[in-house]
Amino acid sequence: MTRAFLAALASASALALPSTAQIASSVGPEVAPIGSPITISFSNDTAGSLITGACPYKVYDTDGVLVHAPGCSAIALFMSPAATLVAEWNQQDDAGQPVPANIYRIDVDVPEIGIVSHFIEIADVDAGISFLGIPKTGTARHFALTAPGQPGALYGMAASATAATGIATCAGTIPLDLDGVLGISLVPTNGVFLDFVGTLDADGRSKAPSLAVPDLAAFQGIELHFAFLALDLSAACPIAAISEPFELTTQ
């Protein structure tokens, strides 16, 4: 997969993909730190506009009991072509109380498709990643990083084609492999992995990083792995937190 990605980057003669209708949803982080927002998103990669609700999702526990149904679902929104809708669940039930660490089902009402179910786990982990939309060729869409215990920290993010071995560090193992894709993702001017270095906000979050998938056939169906570090450069071990692994496949 590394060779395929490198070859795609180097290919100036690859053919542009024809536009195809696509609507799909994503929910994450798949393993989320306690108290972090869960993002619910879907992208309109059709040629026309779509109508959706502002909060088109519901949350259920492992017994199928409704935990949270946002009250703004009656508001109609128009999504233009290439637009992405992003909503957030703050890990609270309908009474405003934090939900316990557990596995939850999130049903997303996707226009022209219907209900799509996603499963996430809320757990005692340091950091997580979600992707805001669908990584379709020809689009540039953002990640949401969350590390609630690291407000205002520097972050460094990277990608790799595989995650079989990991990278040992003073703070644990980074769930990425040392391959060519990782090297590309660390180059600030690479043009695909954007804003992979920055600062988390006062809640330990950032939506600055993005993935710009070129509109070329060679970039379709590529599996990529991602992780980020929260950094404290004044500490003996500068890695304050390592995110849970995140994986996606370009479409």
Domains of the chain: 2-249 (2.60.40.2550)
Angle at 190 between CA 160 and CA 229, to 5 degrees: 50
Rounded Cα gap, residues 62 and 73, in angstroms? 23
Q: How far, CA to CA in Å, does 67 sit from each of 89, 97, 115? A: 11, 10, 17
Question: Of the ranges 1-10, 41-50, 172-181, which one carries the lowest mean pLDDT score?
Answer: 1-10
Whether 18 shows a pLDDT value over 50: the answer reads no
- Residue 7: what are its φ and ψ, rounded to 5°? -65, -35
Rounded Cα gap, residues 141 and 138, in angstroms? 10
Residue 128, token pair as written in the block: 């997580």
The mean per-residue pLDDT over the stretch 80-101 comes to: 94
- Residue 123: what are its φ and ψ, rounded to 5°? -145, 170
Residue 180 has a pLDDT of 97
Rounded Cα gap, residues 174 and 241, in angstroms? 10
Share of the chain above pLDDT 70, in %: 90
Tell me which of 68 and 82 has the higher pLDDT.
Answer: 68
pTM: 0.89
